[in-house]
Chain A
């Protein structure tokens, strides 16, 4: 004989409780299997519950009117019936009332685990394993990720691996000269691996170089390029530069001739607006821009970038100088964002900064013209019939021949040249 409990079952597919309506037996009664013992009321119905045991009623739980939860004991019976042999706990059909939050099954802590350094160097797979954000970082920094050794789990290339690879490639000589006269060596593009014994090597084209290439092709093969150039006496320009350098506003700043050239350019653009425009093939229009966003072609390790001085006409010489320097620095640091790299209305490419006299630059699509000031160097010049030594600069203008004809381009270039030769004239037009 043993005492068996009977717990209130779920009587109707998801009920959670029932109310005792009437007890049909009392403590001490002898009862039979399936004898009705109690009447309860659920959300759905009035139900008579039959006893699962035969024996003697030991104790009943719950007064009439009491609300009892599914799963609570309602009666105990002294019975000779053995408990069923089952490996699992007694099945209670239906799940009973909500007992609050569910509990964990597994005893383990979750959360980010710190990387353990592997015991041995993991084998480097043919193609680097890396998460997409790390791949993007590599692309942005101009790193070929397949060449980076991965120190992460299972040989994964981590963010740190990529940054380290980028740092180690930033060799000496990264500083771009601000003096137009200085010659700065071309830096090595990142992707070349030195393999001295081979007759040729193949450099995979990726990311920035690829997109520069695409842009160049697009420009060169849709815009009919013509270049004109003009040699000017830049002595007055250089003198102005020296004077500006002594200004208090020029403290902690190196004023190069470039911002003055930009100022002259702005004045010339106002006089010859077609130079600050764009040929729109789709709508068959020439779009003349009345804002002045000057692109300054900048050589960086990753390749040619063109940061843009927005609304250059609203900046004075010093602000221009500062802005040009800021843009150049952030371009070289790899920190420059898309908004600083787009939107130019005309571009300057300072070929003089690497010692070139002139060139035939490719227009920054979809602009109408690109100006290439060359190196300012001491050259023989004729003044009042005499040969003297002056600071001489050649300026080349490549222009879209659909927008500008040679004469108009020439007039622009001549005007610009006049302003450069006699910068005082800028006073009259600024």
Chain B
């Protein structure tokens, strides 16, 4: 009827390029411009991510980290999207984007030190990797991404920003405000939502009444796309398209990568309280690495040597991570007074001196 829009008419289909059985979807419609070395690189980073992720969980269980938020099962969604970025593009992560960090070459322990309580922002160089610090308050980083992207636009720089967040974040006001600002300002930003099914224990059905997350983009005047989040190639192509769109000055895109969080929300969470073994097994069968391996082996791109090389590289990274984390001491306590302001105020200076005096007994 004229004047009405009806949510039940919205398509809930997802883009898919690589099927769970490891074969390409015929007539998927995308230009797959990845060469063999690209495919191998994507695979390498996915393996690295999985190994580092597993080791991080182990380290937490061994008392070396206070908590850890595993990315297990989301390697496809993260590495696929990350691979589409150009080197100058910035990433504004939440707190689960290990895949993005590994793609950008961040030293794993530099991220994990955040969870160890060494320093809130971790220890990596944000500008060097064009990766903002992990952001704990939900969805707030989406606004930072929009501001940064707008800055780049004002400068005429060829930089696009990708804002990462989960399905729960789409309920927060800052998500809405970020999309709205980005739409109005035509900011060169990609909103990348990894819909992994749960916000801790709360399933998507309790988070929104919308038929998909992708459709929310329409409310802000830009396109949305839903993609199989365990299809690394699908994630790659839709992100690539969104980045191109932004670079052409056409504004934002909202990508909903439908995936699954195979681990708990964090190591302090007991996922058995709210989901079943069946569900877990269902998603294990949809593992992003397994299907990609099958595809690459069939294409002759993944040799046994290369596979071993990636495995051993992953294990080495895990070992190096363990060495750097286990028994690592805290930073110099004086640092907590160091970067509060550019310069300490007289009152803060006095407190610092009292603090240092108090430390002498310890």
Contact, chains A and B (beta carbon distance below 8 A): yes
Residues of B within 8 A of A105 (CB): 361-362
The complex places the Cα of A423 from the Cα of B126 at a distance, in Å, of 104
Taking a contact as CB atoms under 8 Å apart, the answer to whether A92 and B329 are in contact is no
- Main DSSP-derived SS at the A contact region: loop
Taking a contact as CB atoms under 8 Å apart, the answer to whether A93 and B272 are in contact is no
Taking a contact as CB atoms under 8 Å apart, the answer to whether B117 and A12 are in contact is no
Residues of B within 8 A of A7 (CB): 63
Which among B36-44, B145-153, B219-227, B262-270 touches the partner chain? Answer: B262-270
Residues of B within 8 A of A13 (CB): 66-67, 268
Taking a contact as CB atoms under 8 Å apart, the answer to whether B326 and A47 are in contact is no
The answer to whether residues A48 and B61 also contact, given A34-B55, A93-B116, A105-B362 and a CB cut-off of 8 A, is yes
A6 within 8 A of B: yes
Count A interface residues, CB 8 Å: 31
Taking a contact as CB atoms under 8 Å apart, the answer to whether A49 and B62 are in contact is yes
Q: Which among A87, A91, A106 is the interface contact of B64 at CB below 8 angstroms?
A: A91
Q: Name the interface residues of A1-39: CB closer than 8 Å to any CB of B.
A: 6-13, 34
**Min distance, Cβ A61 to any Cβ of chain B, angstroms:** 16
Taking a contact as CB atoms under 8 Å apart, the answer to whether A86 and B327 are in contact is yes
The answer to whether residues A45 and B269 also contact, given A13-B66, A50-B61, A94-B66 and a CB cut-off of 8 A, is yes
Q: Name the interface residues of A83-99: CB closer than 8 Å to any CB of B.
A: 83-88, 90-94
Residues of B within 8 A of A11 (CB): 60-61, 267-268
**Min distance, Cβ A267 to any Cβ of chain B, angstroms:** 70
The answer to whether residues A10 and B272 also contact, given A50-B58, A105-B362 and a CB cut-off of 8 A, is no
The complex places the Cα of A363 from the Cα of B268 at a distance, in Å, of 82
Residues of A within 8 A of B58 (CB): 34, 50, 52
The answer to whether residues A9 and B326 also contact, given A45-B272, A46-B270, A93-B117 and a CB cut-off of 8 A, is no
Residues of B within 8 A of A202 (CB): none
Residues of A within 8 A of B272 (CB): 45-46
The complex places the Cα of A192 from the Cα of B55 at a distance, in Å, of 85
Taking a contact as CB atoms under 8 Å apart, the answer to whether A91 and B327 are in contact is yes
Interface centre among A10, A46, A91 (most CB of B within 10 A): A91
Taking a contact as CB atoms under 8 Å apart, the answer to whether A84 and B327 are in contact is yes
The complex places the Cα of A126 from the Cα of B361 at a distance, in Å, of 38
Taking a contact as CB atoms under 8 Å apart, the answer to whether A84 and B326 are in contact is yes
Interface centre among A12, A49, A90, A105 (most CB of B within 10 A): A12
B139 within 8 A of A: no
The complex places the Cα of A48 from the Cα of B264 at a distance, in Å, of 13
Residues 108-150 of B, flagged 1 when their CB comes within 8 A of A and 0 if not, give: 0000000011000000000000000000000000000000000
B65 within 8 A of A: yes
Taking a contact as CB atoms under 8 Å apart, the answer to whether B66 and A106 are in contact is no
The complex places the Cα of A164 from the Cα of B95 at a distance, in Å, of 71
Taking a contact as CB atoms under 8 Å apart, the answer to whether A45 and B66 are in contact is no
A44 within 8 A of B: yes
The complex places the Cα of A94 from the Cα of B62 at a distance, in Å, of 11
Q: Name the interface residues of B87-110: CB closer than 8 Å to any CB of A.
A: none
Taking a contact as CB atoms under 8 Å apart, the answer to whether A44 and B269 are in contact is yes
B25 within 8 A of A: no
Q: Which among B62, B116, B326 is the interface contact of A50 at CB below 8 angstroms?
A: B62
Residues of B within 8 A of A9 (CB): 61-64
Taking a contact as CB atoms under 8 Å apart, the answer to whether B268 and A93 are in contact is no
The complex places the Cα of A11 from the Cα of B57 at a distance, in Å, of 11
4 additional A-B pairs beyond A91-B63, A94-B66, beta carbons within 8 Å, are A13-B66, A45-B272, A84-B326, A91-B328
Can you give 12 A-B contacts (C-beta < 8 A)?
Answer: A13-B268, A45-B264, A45-B270, A46-B270, A87-B329, A91-B327, A93-B63, A93-B116, A93-B117, A94-B63, A106-B361, A107-B361
Interface set of B (CB-CB < 8 Å, partner A)? 54-55, 58, 60-67, 116-117, 264, 267-270, 272-273, 326-330, 361-362
